[in-house]
């Protein structure tokens, strides 16, 4: 009986962990093989080279961080405010918030130096913003109001984890709920 090969997804997931921990330079085939407890040869059974792995990692990040979230919100249906509440909850209660944030930050940092990654980042940001605009636009007649609400919602999604401020007698969760309710009025 032959050795079990590491699934393609295992390489991608470990590549995303390496990216989150150390940036694109940390995504090295030898290091990934060592963490996975396999030889480098298994890598080449799935990917032609490191660039192919990187492309698949970015595809996975793009799909998981934008497309899959929108699909999840849409699958449950409902009116736009209900969808926005659901989106807010999904983002706030991500199964792996630390991993998702770390990968997002690593991709954003990488995008500052690599035009092809910047292009993907722009595509993801535009997909997310356009979705928010469509939801807010369904109940906000003013285009400027739609843009401000969408920008505030998205800014909170991207930068909210950087905030370390106290909120007086309120918990962070209470303030996030107040913020959501304010955006949805």
Q: What's the longest Cα–Cα distance across the chain?
A: 66
* CATH number, domain containing residue 177: 1.10.357.10
Arithmetic mean of pLDDT, 55-75: 94
Of residues 37 and 4, more confidence is placed in 37
Give me the number of domains the chain comprises: 1
Tell me whether residue 61 is in a domain. Answer: yes
**pLDDT-based confidence at residue 1 (cuts at 50, 70, 90):** very low
Q: Residue 165 is part of which domain span?
A: 8-183
Tell me whether residue 3 is in a domain. Answer: no
Tell me whether residue 42 is in a domain. Answer: yes
Tell me whether residue 110 is in a domain. Answer: yes
Nearest residue to 59 via CA among 109, 7, 107: 107
Tell me whether residue 2 is in a domain. Answer: no
Token couple for 142: 């003013």
**For position 3, what pLDDT does the model report?**
45
Of residues 74 and 45, more confidence is placed in 74
Tell me whether residue 176 is in a domain. Answer: yes
Going by C-beta distance under 8 Å and a sequence separation of 6 or more, which residues neighbour residue 79?
Answer: 138
**pLDDT-based confidence at residue 154 (cuts at 50, 70, 90):** very high
Tell me whether residue 75 is in a domain. Answer: yes
**For position 96, what pLDDT does the model report?**
52
Cα dihedral sign for 74, 155, 130, 179?
positive
Tell me whether residue 20 is in a domain. Answer: yes
């Amino acid at each position: 009986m032959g050795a079990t090969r590491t699934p393609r997804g295992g390489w991608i997931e470990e590549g995303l962990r390496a990216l989150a921990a150390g940036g694109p330079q940390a995504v090295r085939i030898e290091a990934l093989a060592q963490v996975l407890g396999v030889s480098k040869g298994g890598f080449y059974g799935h990917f032609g080279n490191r660039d192919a792995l990187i492309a698949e990692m970015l595809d996975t990040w793009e799909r998981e961080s934008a497309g899959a979230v929108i699909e999840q919100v849409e699958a449950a249906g409902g009116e736009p405010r209900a969808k926005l509440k659901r989106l807010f909850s999904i983002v706030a209660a991500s199964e792996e918030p630390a991993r998702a944030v770390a990968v997002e930050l690593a991709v954003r940092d990488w995008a500052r130096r690599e035009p092809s990654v910047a292009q993907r980042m722009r595509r993801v940001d535009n997909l997310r913003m356009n979705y928010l605009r469509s939801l807010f636009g369904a109940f906000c007649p003013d285009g400027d109001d739609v843009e401000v609400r969408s920008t505030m919602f998205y800014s909170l999604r991207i930068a909210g984890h950087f905030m370390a401020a106290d909120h007086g007698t309120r918990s962070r969760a209470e303030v996030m709920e107040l913020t959501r309710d304010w955006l949805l009025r």
